[in-house]
Amino acid sequence: MSKASQDLEKAIANAAKVGSCLPQDIPEWMQKMGILAEDVITESTKVGNNSPNNKTDVLIKFQKSKPLKISAKLSNAGYFGNWYGHERFISEFGRKVFDKLTEKTSGWANDWANKPNASLFVGVSISFGKRTGDTLIPFLDVFDNFDDLRKIFCGVGDNDTTANCLYVSDKHPDSTEEIIDKLVPLDLETIKELSKDIKVIFRPINPLTESSNRGKNVYTKFQPDQPLNQLTDITTLKDLIKLGKFVKVFPNKLNHNHILDTLEADYKIHIERKKYSKRISKSRWQFYSENET
């Protein structure tokens, strides 16, 4: 998370001062949500990204009302759901949708691999958000309805980590009134409007230039046609795709490093990797053998 995003969340939490009251006039949607005018704020906390499943950035609690669970975004925020892993994806959307997504991702990867501007990659991770260009497909190409989109904006369940309203602005609020002025409910109408800009974003990771992102789960993998006769260095995507194609994966936490390990151990294809920073243990990645789950 960027410093600007963290600063925005802190500003919202600080503006909703504990002991202060809500205004006498609050929006109708807040009233329908179970929030009472002039109720007293008992807690205002920056929750942030302490869990990948957390959609609430700022939690405001009251004496009598239900809480405001705010998802805070800068005006230029591009991502609403970042780096979805297999376990989280299956738990929120189900295996059927996973299988559809890995099929779509594999088809996209095989097309992308032949683009002149594509860089070397062996797998593709995914996110959800705003995007232009070619590294995307429309949300509803994979998902069936807006209920799935609601999960990306709000989260799953009804606990404090599940957001119920959205704050989008670069301006830091100075009071509770300014917070309320910028809030919109995360209801079906808002989500439908937001859906016009939300895409499934494909993120092919170049092992030559990226390190930490190689640990993200993939939704397609490069599969060689057969092992080579001797260990061979591959440095370009053009040379790689001569040896095979991208195929569907199982939801077993496969990541880019696992694919690179398997390519070298089983197919004698060696692709150099950018080294991790010293803060990350060299023994973090072990050889991976894929099994269907």
Helix, strand, coil shares of the chain, percent, nearest 5, are 30, 20, 50
Banded model confidence at residue 152, pLDDT cuts 50, 70, 90: confident
Q: Specify the higher pLDDT residue, 78 or 23.
A: 23
Report, as an integer, the average pLDDT of 164-177.
93
Instruction: Please tell me whether residue 133 adopts helix, strand or coil conformation.
Output: coil
For position 148, what pLDDT does the model report?
A: 81
Distances (CA, A) of 103 to 94, 106, 198, 241, 248: 15, 5, 20, 18, 6
Q: State how far the Cα of 61 lies from the Cα of 63, in Å rounded to an integer.
A: 7
For position 283, what pLDDT does the model report?
A: 36
Of 10-24, 120-134, 152-166, give the range with the top mean pLDDT: 10-24
* pLDDT over 80 at 97, yes or no: yes
For position 73, what pLDDT does the model report?
A: 86
Report, as an integer, the average pLDDT of 84-110.
94
166: phi then psi, degrees, rounded to nearest 5: -130, 135
Q: State how far the Cα of 69 lies from the Cα of 61, in Å rounded to an integer.
A: 9
Task: For residue 281, give every residue at least 6 positions away whose Cβ sits within 8 Å of its Cβ, in sequence order, or none.
Answer: none
pTM score of the predicted model: 0.78
Q: State how far the Cα of 224 lies from the Cα of 267, in Å rounded to an integer.
A: 7
Percent of the chain with pLDDT over 70: 91
For position 106, what pLDDT does the model report?
A: 98
Could you list the beta-strand ranges (E) of 87-182. Answer: 124-130, 136-138, 165-168
Please give the structure tokens belonging to residue 10. Answer: 């802190």
* pLDDT over 90 at 25, yes or no: yes
Report, as an integer, the average pLDDT of 178-193.
89
The predicted-structure confidence for 47-69, as pLDDT tens digits, reads as follows: 866 666 688 999 999 999 999 99
* pLDDT over 70 at 160, yes or no: yes
Task: For residue 42, give every residue at least 6 positions away whose Cβ sits within 8 Å of its Cβ, in sequence order, or none.
Answer: 18, 61, 62, 63
* pLDDT over 50 at 293, yes or no: no
Q: State how far the Cα of 115 lies from the Cα of 192, in Å rounded to an integer.
A: 33
Q: State how far the Cα of 31 lies from the Cα of 39, in Å rounded to an integer.
A: 11
The predicted-structure confidence for 73-88, as pLDDT tens digits, reads as follows: 888 766 677 888 999 9
DSSP state of 267: H
* pLDDT over 50 at 33, yes or no: yes
The predicted-structure confidence for 228-286, as pLDDT tens digits, reads as follows: 999 999 999 999 999 999 999 999 999 999 999 999 999 999 999 998 765 443 434 44
Percent of the chain with pLDDT over 90: 66
Please give the structure tokens belonging to residue 237. Answer: 């995507």
